[in-house]
Amino acid sequence: MAKLSSLLHLLAASVVLAISVLLGHGVLHVGASRSVHRNLQTTVESTSAMQPYRTSYHFQPPSNWMNDPNGPMIYKGIYHLFYQYNLLGPVPGHKVWAHSTSTDLVNWTPHVPAIVPSEEYDVNGCWSGSATILQEHKPAILYTGVNRQNQQVQNLAVPKNLSDPYLIEWVKSPQNPLMEPTAMNMISPDSFRDPTTAWVGPDGGWRVIIGSQSNRTGMAISYRSEDFVNWTKAEHPLYSANDTGMWECPDFFPVSAQAPVGLDTSINGPNVKHVLKVSLSDSQHDYYTIGTYNSVTDTYVPVEGSVDSNSGLRYDYGKYYASKTFFDSKNNRRILWAWINESSSADDDINKGWSGIQAIPRTLWLDKSGKQLVQWPILEIEKLRTNQVDLPNQLIEGGAILEVSGITAAQADVEVSFEVKELEKAEVLDPTWTDPQMLCSRKGASVKGSLGPFGLLVMASKGLQEYTAVFFRIFKGQNKYVVLMCSDQSRSSINNSNDKTTYGAFLDVDPLHEKLSLRTLIDHSIVESFGGGGKSCITARVYPVLAVDDGTHLHVFNNGAESVGVPKLSAWSMKKARIN
């Protein structure tokens, strides 16, 4: 029990529950460090000592800078992902569309870049854009080119050989650029980018939106076309909002109000709602609203209560930007990709030779409430699970911390649910506590509460000098219980030179009638957490010095005064995916 003393900074009254868990492989002593690593060596393919932060099952190229996902689609049963990539180094620079394909969204094969600067209209960069599947299943890409005058214009590229399911070669349209800023249309040449997937209106014509701003009014400019080549700007934007700044990477798509399935981008009708997502350049966060789309007038009206500014709904309350969805027609689902930035310095990126990863693709759909979206990691990622460890149903006393042994804790998937009995003991929520991120930073994992903090300590070093805490707290609000979900990075590394911002979100779950569930995907330098079955998501980057590879541990903890039930905890080691 000697190591307990080092835990005391975290938990006022630490009690390691010295119980044993029966595993498939035999009995491991939970909380005892000796027996922990027995099964680990064979499953973790050790990351190079020089590269402790490279991931094992997240999408990343072998080296250099990557940012936005571009043009995701499925064609002839093959998934395509293009991405913004600098061929020359791990820093932003001249962008090409790098390209990889997959049959399962888990393992990826790289190809030569699909679109590279070559013409007057894109010589200074081939920036983000989207794929649209035209009639007869022909894909087409609209992308932003930065022209010789550094103006942003929209261009078309089509596959050279439609019989090639990998779509290796792309041909730029001789009519490019198809949309450009002019004195007539008043579009600002440095604020006109990132065309969406186009959709078909009731008149059979195509529509697309482009991100823009005018005097800090962010907007989604609409264009129409009969033939996908000759595009005419609509008189009014699809939607705009004052004082939101530049809208990057807009995404506009229908969701079913009846079932948790995906819809083709051109679908509209009585049981359909629409989602407009914008990446706000000011705050570097992805916000969305849910509303209705009138395809005759080409206007979008968010439902009352949806806010499209810094206080609105977010896909993810941590690090998550420039996201883009596509409709997977093979499996009737809509899938979300997003770029996850580093939290370390450009010098570090240069030293490690790379920057940027993609989040695990998520399926998303409209919640039963109709008020928000729900996201969940694609099912395919579960085929990387191995070495399942289950904890028996148990109560975790206030102040207790319990190690979950027997998995590769730096490369893992964890699902846990919590059950709280005496809700009346919840702390009262001060009505001024409206900012969940602020609340999480003020009440981090080490701040004892009543009902919570309880959750997971991931990427933890042996003596808990380092850990990332993903947890819940329950408060008594005006007329309901309020659940707070936090990802606290403040102790994620003994190295203080990186960004360790704490993130937080409110979670729309009723703890009176529902268990509080948490799933966390851990992959060396990324912690992606899904609360309440995917109602609130938080992604964090971490750069531990001690909690690296086999020096990494996983715990479940309760630092509240009241006990919490843990009816279920399953954790898996994750195998390495074949990526690029």
Ligand X SMILES: *[C@@H]1O[C@H](CO)[C@@H](O)[C@H](O)[C@H]1NC(C)=O
**Beta carbon nearer to ligand X, 227 or 382:** 227
CA 357 to chain CA mean position, Å: 10
Q: How far is the CB of 438 from ligand X (least distance, A)?
A: 17
Strand 454-460 and strand 553-558: pairing?
A: antiparallel
**Beta carbon nearer to ligand X, 176 or 344:** 344
CA distance 442 to 437: 9
Nearest to 255 by CA among 266, 246, 263: 263
Q: How far is the CB of 215 from ligand X (least distance, A)?
A: 4
CA distances from 126 to 58, 94, 130, 147 (A): 24, 8, 12, 9
CA distances from 172 to 28, 210, 282 (A): 60, 19, 32
Q: How far is the CB of 154 from ligand X (least distance, A)?
A: 15
Nearest to 545 by CA among 473, 463, 446: 463
Identify the bridge partners of residue 366 per DSSP, sorted by sequence position: 373
User: Which element (helix H / strand E) includes 437?
Assistant: helix 436-442
**Beta carbon nearer to ligand X, 242 or 258:** 242
Amino acid at 399: G
Nearest to 320 by CA among 467, 492, 537: 537
Q: How far is the CB of 246 from ligand X (least distance, A)?
A: 13
Given its phi and psi angles, is residue 348 left (phi above 0), alpha (psi -120 to 50 degrees) or beta? alpha
Contact 439, 504 (CB under 8 A): yes
**Beta carbon nearer to ligand X, 27 or 438:** 438
**Beta carbon nearer to ligand X, 390 or 499:** 499
Q: How far is the CB of 522 from ligand X (least distance, A)?
A: 19
In the block, which residue shows the tokens 């900012």?
A: 435
Phi and psi at residue 424, to the nearest 5°: -65, -15
Residues in the chain: 580
Q: How far is the CB of 214 from ligand X (least distance, A)?
A: 5
Active site residue 499: no
Nearest to 372 by CA among 475, 271, 485, 273: 273
CA distance 416 to 517: 6
**Beta carbon nearer to ligand X, 207 or 575:** 207
Q: How far is the CB of 236 from ligand X (least distance, A)?
A: 14
**Beta carbon nearer to ligand X, 284 or 292:** 284
- Rounded to a whole number of angstroms, the CA Rg of the chain reads 24
State both tokens at 567: 């009816």
CA distance 565 to 237: 51
**For binding to ligand X (CB under 6 A), which residues are involved?**
161, 163-164, 186, 214-215, 230, 232, 242, 284, 319, 321, 341, 343-345, 348, 495, 497-499, 545
Q: What is the DSSP letter of 161?
A: -
Please tell me which residue in 68, 316, 328, 413 is annotated as part of the active site: 68
CA distance 78 to 63: 24
Q: How far is the CB of 111 from ligand X (least distance, A)?
A: 12
Q: 118 in helix, strand or coil?
A: coil
Q: 103 in helix, strand or coil?
A: coil
State both tokens at 283: 């705050």
**Beta carbon nearer to ligand X, 219 or 381:** 219
Q: How far is the CB of 446 from ligand X (least distance, A)?
A: 22
Which residues have a catalytic role annotated? 68
